[in-house]
Homo-oligomer: A and B are copies of this chain.
Amino acid sequence: MSDQPFYEHHVFFCLNQRKPGERTCCADKGAQAAQEHAKKRIKQLGLAGDGKVRINKAGCLERCEEGPVVVIYPQGTWYTFVDNEDIDEIIDSHIVGGKIVERLKI
């Protein structure tokens, strides 16, 4: 049961923000800035749009302790990241090159 994908790569960044004192969350670890960076870079590369790439915001993806996390479908590959260089590597390798970034994969 699998369809032709509407987006070749549909990327979901967890942007969940928990309250102070609650367990760790992606929003406290730069997730929003990373999502904005990815969106801008995909647009610059001319990869945004139907049949290509969509960078999305998402609610809690429930992998808080491993965060910040991003998942790319339909491949179902999960990554963590520290900074924009990590995001660029995910874009260059996984999205453009079709090669999983093993060092960031969770």
Residues of A within 8 A of B (CB): 1-6, 10, 12, 50, 54, 56-63, 71, 73-78, 98-100
Give A101 Cβ to nearest chain B Cβ, in Å: 11
Give A105 Cβ to nearest chain B Cβ, in Å: 8
Give A76 Cβ to nearest chain B Cβ, in Å: 5
Chain B residues whose C-beta falls within 8 Å of the C-beta of A57 in the assembled complex: 58-59
Which 5 pairs across A and B sit closest by C-beta, in order of nearness? A57-B59, A73-B73, A74-B76, A5-B76, A74-B74
Query: Taking the full assembly, how many copies of this chain does it contain?
Result: 2
Minimal Cβ-Cβ distance residue in B for A98: B1
Minimal Cβ-Cβ distance residue in B for A77: B3
Give A98 Cβ to nearest chain B Cβ, in Å: 6
Tell which of B6, B12, B50 touches A58, judged by Cβ atoms closer than 8 Å: B12
Q: How far is the CA of A10 from the CA of B71 in the complex (A)?
A: 10
Chain B residues whose C-beta falls within 8 Å of the C-beta of A61 in the assembled complex: 54, 56
Known: A59-B57, A61-B54. A73 touches B1 (CB 8 A): no
